[in-house]
Amino acid sequence: MLSSIGNILVILVLTLSFLIIYNASLDIKFSSQSIKKNIYKLSLFQTTFTVLSFFTLIIGFVISDFSLINVYENSHTAKPFFYKVAGTWGNHEGSLLLWVNILVIFSYLFLVFNHIHDKKFRLYTLIVQNILILGFLFFLLLNSNPFNSIYPIPLEGLGLNPILQDPALAIHPPLLYVGFVGCSIFFSAAMASLLSGYGGKIFAQSIKTWVKISWCFQTLGIIVGSIWAYYELGWGGFWFWDPVENASLLPWFAITALMHSLIVLEKRNTLYSWVIILCLLTFILSVTGTFLVRSGILNSVHTFASDPSRGIYILLFLSLMIFSSLIIFFTKYKKETYNFNLKSRETFILVNNWFMAFFLLTVLIGMLYPIFLDVLTNVKISVGPPFFNIVIIPLVVPFLFFMAIGPKFGWVKSRNKFFYKFFFLILGAVIINILIFYFFGKYSFLSNLIFIAAIFLILQSCIDVKKIINNKNKFELPRVISHLGFGLLVFFIGVNYQFSLEEDFNLKVGEIKKINNYEVNFQDIKIKDNKNYKAVIGIFKLTNFKNNLVQYLEPEIRIYSNPETLTYEAAIKTKITSDLYLTMSNVSRSDYYNIKFQNKPFMICIWISALMISLGGFVQLTLKKNED
């Protein structure tokens, strides 16, 4: 029943896509100023049906309708309601439907909210976007249909991988999808701009809100993924330079560069071609990432059972996208002359773009090189943290400096008046760094530089905050929040890296272990039955002799029944200054448990500063509204 409803809805959406493309191509030739009413109507219907199809799938998961293969494979009646819903996008087919939903919704919103812009430009955007929608709909129907049915109907489902049953992971995919798939709309707009000749300043105005929305959600999505890895995987880290994490960073670098260049295009009406390249690149990189992860070329928790035919389809689609966009770009490309003064804001924004391009290339090479090597020579290597740390970290130092200095320059040309201010701030940063170095411990020369640069950016941003409060000039606020967030992020990651404590040992109930100024006392063990798992909970009394603080930590071993899996839940006590982190795992045929104890300074501050970066973007979006 749900299977037929879902299929009918998807086919309706497909038909509407064709109708929209047909009607829009007819309407382009008309010289009237406004777009025909029926195109709006078709687009609205399309959005409604897409959303309905997604709801149909959610209902399938909620009522555990195992006649849908997708529900049977990824759900179970004993799953809590929340995870039944989240299971909808916790698998390949369901997430593809979500993908189509975002394409369609953005297509409609762009059509409605950009009414002040050129008709031809809007219609071309609509056409390109609907071609993308068609591509993904065919993929969905032919290869990955979430509404395929199964007969006889199974009595029980196979269940969702327990490590995916986590609140952070339930919201991580939708955030990332809005972020990555949202890029499709300015991909389409860039193509439309090339086709219709509607470029320059006004083009920047038409896409800037959409770029910001995508940027905010991408940033937030990546952070939530990282938080999940920290709390759920129990490895005690938050970024591993894993190929899949890298795949998510590539579009992020491109979109961050785009967001900055767009300001130059809007204010100075230059850099048009570069902005177009970045628009195209961001979405192409998003699809490339999806391809690499979904086809199973890169392996990780994100690889839902891999399937070669799936890979070939996305690859074909990707090739079409790249070649058509390149050919259109080169045909329409006009040479621009740039006339930038060295001491102007636009020069510094370009500097930001060089850094972003450099980071992007580094990560791209680190990600692609092993794949190339494997295919060409059969040699398997993995490029890990050492490579990225060596190449990227030294560049972060000048990057932080430019981030602090750049926004202080005015457009077109500025005078030298504030160099002495920078000098005092750098001096301040050096002094703070020396104090940290002297009182808390030694670290390398490079770390010193990183700390100085980060503190400099933080100080500069704090001064900016004060200025904003005095002048009530709120339009600088989003930038300051994001830049301050980034400075703090680098600073806290540095501190965390330098001053972490980690210890691995075995204990049984009643035993005590001393580590530095901590005492771990394994007091008791209890067993608890939950709806979809059984938990073995250890009770640990942790005493800190430095401040005579006693805390209780309760790490768990969870035994899930469907599918039968063991997971280890870390007990984490979070304070502003540090996280105490304790995991335990059972040792068979023995009363001993293996304990991993970590004291990680400023973890919560890392999350807060990362969230600040994306908060800056959200603040800007709300400011934009008030301005209108």
Residue 202 near other proteins by CB under 8 A: no
Residue 358 near other proteins by CB under 8 A: no
Report CA 493 to chain centroid distance, whole Å.
Answer: 19
Residue 504 near other proteins by CB under 8 A: yes
- Binding to other proteins (CB under 8 A): which residues in 73-92? none
Sign, CA dihedral 486-492-496-499, equals positive
Least distance in angstroms from the C-beta of 521 to other proteins: 21
Residue 297 or 412: which CB sits closer to other proteins?
A: 297
Least distance in angstroms from the C-beta of 322 to other proteins: 6
Exposure class string for 318-339: b at 16+ Cβ within 10 A, else e: beebeeebeebbeebeeeeeee
- Binding to other proteins (CB under 8 A): which residues in 367-386? 368, 371-372, 374-376, 380
Residues in binding contact with other proteins, number by CB under 8 A: 40
Residue 365 or 469: which CB sits closer to other proteins?
A: 365
Residue 334 near other proteins by CB under 8 A: no
Q: What is d(CA 23, CA 36) in angstroms, rounded to the nearest whole number?
A: 9
The answer to whether 480 and 465 are in contact (CB under 8 A) is yes
Residue 446 near other proteins by CB under 8 A: no
H-helix or E-strand spanning residue 281: helix 272-294
Residue 337 or 377: which CB sits closer to other proteins?
A: 377
Residue 318 near other proteins by CB under 8 A: yes
Least distance in angstroms from the C-beta of 591 to other proteins: 11
- Give the pair of three-digit tokens for residue 134: 């068609």
Q: What is d(CA 200, CA 276) in angstroms, rounded to the nearest whole number?
A: 10
The answer to whether 570 and 555 are in contact (CB under 8 A) is yes
Residue 320 near other proteins by CB under 8 A: no
Least distance in angstroms from the C-beta of 389 to other proteins: 19
Q: What is d(CA 337, CA 329) in angstroms, rounded to the nearest whole number?
A: 18
- Binding to other proteins (CB under 8 A): which residues in 152-171? none
**Nearest-10 crossing angle of helices 167-181, 92-113:** 50
Report CA 90 to chain centroid distance, whole Å.
Answer: 16
Residue 287 or 484: which CB sits closer to other proteins?
A: 287
Least distance in angstroms from the C-beta of 112 to other proteins: 35
Residue 509 near other proteins by CB under 8 A: no
Dihedral pair phi/psi, residue 568, rounded to 5°: -115, 120
The piece of 187-195, 207-215, 311-319, 430-438 that touches other proteins (CB under 8 A) is: 311-319
Distances from the Cα of 309 to the Cα of 135, 139, 514, angstroms? 15, 10, 55
Residue 363 or 425: which CB sits closer to other proteins?
A: 363
First to last CA, the chain: 46
The answer to whether 255 and 216 are in contact (CB under 8 A) is no
Residue 527 near other proteins by CB under 8 A: no
- Binding to other proteins (CB under 8 A): which residues in 552-591? 564, 566, 568, 583, 585-590
Report CA 497 to chain centroid distance, whole Å.
Answer: 23
Residue 324 near other proteins by CB under 8 A: no
The single residue among 295, 461, 532, 599 that binds other proteins, judged by CB under 8 A, is: 295
| Cis upstream peptide for 385 (omega within 30°) | no
Residue 306 near other proteins by CB under 8 A: yes
- AA identity, residue 572: I
Residue 314 or 553: which CB sits closer to other proteins?
A: 314
Positions touching other proteins (CB under 8 A) are: 291-292, 295-297, 299, 306, 308, 311-312, 315, 318-319, 322-323, 326-327, 330-331, 368, 371-372, 374-376, 380, 504, 506, 564, 566, 568, 583, 585-590, 592, 594
